[in-house]
């Protein structure tokens, strides 16, 4: 049996205002081909399918077309869990219809943890895999808020709630395995920040979530019981705790210019009994990103060379020369206007006031409340040590206005 593990597609994502629709289309086309060529039986998508809780129609079309095509091309089961960027209600709305295609969707937890334990069957009707499919656990899902709680108390109770929930789900799964067959592999899916996970500047994991999320100890997943741990949320592909069978698959596309040169992949897991063999399949680059740094002369020379070579790259340009950037921005945009290059960002490393991004033309409805708040923090140059408390207060205010508990 072969399994493919992917996550964090972020359909609908923009990079400095530039749509990624064509890149996502090419990635999903590549993934369909890979699933078919490698005769993958089960596809696991570990959350953050969409970039926002209100995905646009083009992102939705990509999602549903992919599910229909993957089901038609031999992938017998698809298991999807919701991430922190996803709307649980949106994901869950068509779940009964998608179940007819053997697409199992769990956007939010229900009242019974057993709903998160899936027993997948082979074509002959025999059970072949147990999957614990636990979506991103929001604060309101696992604990009750209390007045005058400190951030430390909230964090501690959240960790306890998450650990307790996974413990209950795993107990159900292990009982099912003892009942059905002790040789059945057990896979656990989650969308969380496991202790020891790596993030870096520019990898796209928003500080709103990662900066305030408590890290979950990987020890809650028993080594002798969990045969593969399929995680989403962190955007770098990586092992958890140095264990090859505990992985983040990472994003399929680079989320920003700081990820230039970082290879993206999906994980392929082949089970022989309960023993997994894990390989990575490298995802092609569908759109070149390039950063040009230097003084005025160096920048103009490299842009001119790329135009002559008919480059179709998307550029971030950082002026590092003496003095201010002056009319360099206008000259660069004029040069690029008659070429296949796209300049998405121009900035002076000495002054944020001279920066330019193409997303300055974005309408407010294209930004969510978290993105707007982050821009306010940046615009007002709020010290980094003050931001976690402000983010927490903002989350609670937004939740109160919407009649919900904060995430």
CATH code: domain of residue 313 = 3.30.160.720
Whether residues 190 and 149 fall in one domain: yes
Does 216 map to a domain?
yes
CATH number at residue 22: 3.60.21.10
Does 357 map to a domain?
yes
Q: What percent of the chain has a predicted confidence (pLDDT) above 70?
A: 85
* pLDDT of the residue at 159: 85
Is residue 225 over pLDDT 90?
yes
* Cα–Cα distance measured from residue 195 to residue 199, given in angstroms and rounded to the nearest whole number: 11
345-356 pLDDT, tens digit per residue, is: 988 876 544 444
Whether residues 276 and 322 fall in one domain: no
* pLDDT of the residue at 115: 95
Kindly state the average pLDDT of the residues 138-157. 72
Whether residues 322 and 250 fall in one domain: no
Number of domains in the chain: 2
Whether residues 321 and 254 fall in one domain: no
Kindly state the average pLDDT of the residues 148-162. 78
Whether residues 65 and 135 fall in one domain: yes
Whether residues 245 and 325 fall in one domain: no
* pLDDT of the residue at 210: 43
Of the residues 282, 305, 322, the one at which a domain ends: 282
pLDDT-derived band at 143 (thresholds 50, 70, 90) equals low
Is residue 185 over pLDDT 70?
yes
Kindly state the average pLDDT of the residues 43-72. 95
Of the residues 266, 282, 298, the one at which a domain ends: 282
Whether residues 301 and 371 fall in one domain: yes
pLDDT-derived band at 88 (thresholds 50, 70, 90) equals very high
Does 389 map to a domain?
yes
Its domain, for residue 218, covers 2-282
273-330 pLDDT, tens digit per residue, is: 999 999 999 999 999 999 999 999 999 999 999 999 999 999 999 998 876 677 888 8
* pLDDT of the residue at 202: 56
pLDDT-derived band at 41 (thresholds 50, 70, 90) equals very high
Whether residues 240 and 124 fall in one domain: yes
Of the residues 282, 317, 336, the one at which a domain ends: 282
Whether residues 264 and 351 fall in one domain: no
Whether residues 54 and 192 fall in one domain: yes
Whether residues 248 and 311 fall in one domain: no
* pLDDT of the residue at 47: 95
Whether residues 327 and 272 fall in one domain: no
pTM for this entry? 0.85
Does 407 map to a domain?
no
pLDDT-derived band at 150 (thresholds 50, 70, 90) equals confident
State the chain's mean pLDDT as an integer.
86
| Pair of tokens at residue 18 | 């530039």
* pLDDT of the residue at 368: 60
């Amino acid at each position: 049996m072969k399994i493919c593990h992917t996550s964090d597609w972020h359909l609908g994502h923009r990079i400095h205002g530039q749509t990624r629709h064509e890149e996502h289309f090419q990635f999903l086309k590549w993934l369909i081909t890979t699933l078919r060529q490698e005769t993958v039986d089960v596809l696991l998508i570990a959350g953050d399918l969409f970039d926002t809780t209100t995905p646009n129609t083009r992102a939705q079309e990509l999602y549903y077309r992919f599910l229909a095509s993957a089901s038609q091309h031999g992938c017998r089961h698809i298991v999807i869990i919701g991430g922190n960027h996803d709307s649980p209600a949106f994901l869950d709305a068509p779940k009964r219809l998608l179940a007819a295609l053997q697409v199992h969707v769990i956007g939010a937890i229900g009242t019974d943890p057993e709903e998160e334990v899936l027993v997948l069957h082979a074509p002959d009707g025999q059970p072949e895999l147990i999957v614990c499919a636990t979506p991103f656990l929001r604060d309101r899902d696992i604990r009750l808020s209390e007045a005058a709680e400190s951030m430390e108390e909230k964090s501690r109770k959240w960790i306890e709630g998450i650990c307790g929930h996974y413990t209950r789900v795993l107990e159900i799964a292990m009982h099912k395995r003892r009942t059905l067959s002790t040789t059945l592999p057990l896979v656990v899916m989650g969308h969380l920040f496991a202790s020891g996970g790596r993030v870096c500047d520019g990898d796209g994991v928003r500080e709103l979530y990662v900066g305030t999320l408590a890290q979950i100890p990987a020890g809650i997943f028993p080594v002798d019981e969990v045969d593969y741990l399929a995680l989403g949320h962190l955007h770098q592909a990586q092992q958890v705790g140095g264990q090859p069978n505990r992985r983040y698959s990472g994003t399929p596309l680079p989320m920003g210019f700081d990820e230039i040169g970082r290879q993206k992949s999906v994980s392929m897991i082949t089970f022989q009994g309960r023993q997994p063999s894990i390989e990575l399949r490298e995802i092609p680059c569908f759109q070149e990103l390039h950063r040009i740094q230097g003084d005025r002369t160096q920048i103009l020379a490299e842009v001119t060379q790329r135009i002559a070579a008919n480059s179709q790259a998307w550029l971030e340009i950082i002026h590092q020369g003496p003095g201010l950037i002056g009319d360099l921005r206008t000259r660069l945009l004029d040069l690029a206007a008659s070429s296949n290059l796209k300049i998405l960002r121009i900035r002076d490393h000495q002054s944020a006031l001279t920066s330019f991004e193409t997303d300055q033309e974005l309408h407010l409805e294209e930004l969510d409340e978290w993105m707007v708040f982050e821009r306010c923090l940046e615009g007002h140059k709020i010290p980094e040590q003050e931001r976690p408390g402000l983010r927490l207060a903002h989350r609670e205010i937004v939740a109160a206005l919407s009649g919900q508990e904060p995430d």
